[in-house]
C-alpha cells in the first residue's frame, strides 16, 4: 500500500472506469489499452503493429506521441473537476531513445506540475523488456469548460 496521497479528483477512481473512455478516437484506433492507475501515475499500453509502425518496420515516433498525449491528457482530466474544467494539450515533445519492432510499449505518466492553469506531465515509454523507448513531456492547459465540449465519461 502506497503512502502517497492520490492526485485524482474522484478518490474512488479505478482503471476499469477507463476501459470505455472516449470510444471512436485515435486511442481506440491504435489499440491503446489502460494498464494501471496508481496514487500518482497512470499507464497505458499500445501495440507495435501495422497501425503504429513506420515504413522501416519500427514504432513510429508519432505513435509514441499519441500514446504520451493520450495518457497525459486523460490523467489531467482525472485531476480536475471535469464538469467545470477541460484539459487541452498545449505542447508535447518527445525524445526517441531506441526503437521497437514488435510487441507492446507502455507509457507511464507522472505529474511534474499540477497548477490551476497548467499541468506538466512526464511520460516514459518502455518496451516489454523494460527498456526505455521514448521520454516525453506534455503541457496541458486547464480551461473553463465550454458548452460545445463533448463530455467524456470517466
Residue 102 maps to a domain: yes
- In this prediction, residue 15 carries a pLDDT of 87
Active-site residue, 69 included: yes
How many domains are there within the chain? 1
- Taking the chain (154 residues) in runs of 10, the rounded mean pLDDT of each run is 83 82 87 96 98 97 98 96 94 97 98 98 98 98 82 58
Q: Do the domain assignments include residue 40?
A: yes
pLDDT of residue 14: 86
CATH of the domain at 129: 3.10.129.10
> Does residue 118 fall inside a structural domain?
yes
Q: What's the 3-state SS for the chain?
A: CCCCCCCCCCCCCCHHHHCCCCCCCHHHHCCCEEEEECCCCEEEEEECCCCCECCCCCECHHHHHHHHHHHHHHHHHHHCCCCCEEEEEEEEEEEECCCCCCCEEEEEEEEEEECCCEEEEEEEEECCCCCEEEEEEEEEEEEECCCCCCCCCC
Q: In this structure, is residue 7 part of a structural domain?
A: no
Catalytic one of 10, 28, 36, 69? 69
Q: Tell me if 72 is assigned to some domain.
A: yes
Is 103 inside any structural domain?
Answer: yes
> What pLDDT was estimated at residue 3?
81
- What pTM does this model have? 0.92
Full domain range(s) for residue 128: 15-144
Q: Supply the pLDDT for residue 104.
A: 98
70 part of a folded domain: yes
Amino acid at each position: 500500500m502506497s503512502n502517497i496521497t492520490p492526485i485524482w479528483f474522484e478518490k474512488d477512481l479505478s482503471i476499469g472506469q477507463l476501459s470505455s473512455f472516449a470510444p471512436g478516437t485515435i486511442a481506440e484506433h491504435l489499440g491503446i489499452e489502460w494498464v494501471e492507475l496508481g496514487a500518482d501515475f497512470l499507464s497505458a499500453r499500445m501495440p507495435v503493429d501495422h497501425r503504429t509502425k513506420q515504413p522501416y518496420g519500427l514504432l513510429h515516433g508519432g505513435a509514441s506521441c499519441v500514446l504520451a498525449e493520450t495518457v497525459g491528457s486523460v490523467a489531467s482530466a482525472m485531476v480536475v473537476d471535469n464538469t467545470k474544467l477541460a484539459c487541452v494539450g498545449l505542447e508535447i515533445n518527445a525524445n526517441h531513445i531506441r526503437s521497437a519492432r514488435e510487441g507492446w510499449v507502455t507509457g507511464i505518466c507522472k505529474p511534474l506540475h499540477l497548477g490551476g492553469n497548467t499541468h506538466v506531465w512526464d511520460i516514459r515509454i518502455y518496451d516489454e523488456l523494460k527498456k526505455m523507448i521514448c521520454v516525453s513531456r506534455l503541457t496541458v492547459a486547464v480551461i473553463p469548460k465550454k458548452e460545445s465540449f463533448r463530455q467524456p465519461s470517466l
